[in-house]
Structure 1
Amino acid sequence: MVTLFRRLALLSVLCAAPAAAQGFEDLDMLESRLVAALGAGIGEAGGPANPIDRRLKLAACPSPAMFDAPRLGAATINCEPLGWRIRVPLARSASVTLAAAKAEPVIRRGDQVEVIAMGGAFRVSTLAVADEDGSPGERIRLRSDRKSAPIFGQVTEDGRVAVTGFN
């Protein structure tokens, strides 16, 4: 009788493991879909900088997870029905990093610069003060006044700062 009980207990544990695993998102599949969507592999320029952290236990999305366009150096994967969202940092190319490091800053700390925000059907600009030096392609911190919260934008070739995320 004890042997039968042990076998049933072992069988129930073995059957429960796959059932519990089905409750979580398949991170391997999610990662392969992300690589395909970005067109670059893990560690390649424009692809994920690192694999998705396997310690994540995301609830299985009832519909396919959506991939947002890369912004601010990361791609976003989200499941709207369940409300979870993760950001995956993207790898930068070595040539872009070296070019940015060698380029002379076009904006200096304390400079007043034009900040441009563009969306699908609009373009808005305002003035702000740079909190740090910036070369074309770099992201810098700006403030509209000393007491305001900082905003971040990317320095353009012509010495302006573009703010993204309004599409």
Structure 2
Amino acid sequence: MFTLPALIAAAPAAAQDYQSTQTLDTIVAQFTGSDIGQPGGARAAVDGRLRLAACAAPQLSWRTDRQEAVVVRCMAPTWRIFVPVNAMPQAAAEPAVATAAAAAPAAPPPPAEPVIRRGDPITIEVGAPGFSISRDGIAMGDAKPGERLLVRVEERKPPIQAVALESGRATLPGWSR
């Protein structure tokens, strides 16, 4: 039979820290720029029954270029989950109007050049009315404006994701300038 001191001593071992699924929902919404259930947002909330070990710095990325799911990953302890995303609605096709003198199709714009290159020192900036935070880091890849890249901010920690703004400047996914 357990005594009260034995139960109290066992309680801390039984109470393990788990990753908050509400926090995961929030960072997925920031990453996608859309709320749960909205076009471009998570299809549903992360299952609250999951018992993932607490993660100090979850990393997010798109599973594919089609942006059908977000990969949420923790490097230490190691785990990852996939969060399905609602498709963005296609722009409604406008009816074609026949004209006697059809205009020549416009040439596509030239591809943008990377504004951040691998090895460049960059500043990651986030902010809102009343506050701003910045952090220096080193780009781990090339990125054009609006593209994501990994940035090393601390030698002994995993890199973080950022979105290129302009030469030497980036922000975190989900934050605007």
Q: Work out which of the two has the higher radius of gyration on C-alpha atoms and give 1 or 2.
A: 1
Give the alignment's TM-score, normalised by structure 1: 0.44
TM-score, L = length of structure 2: 0.42
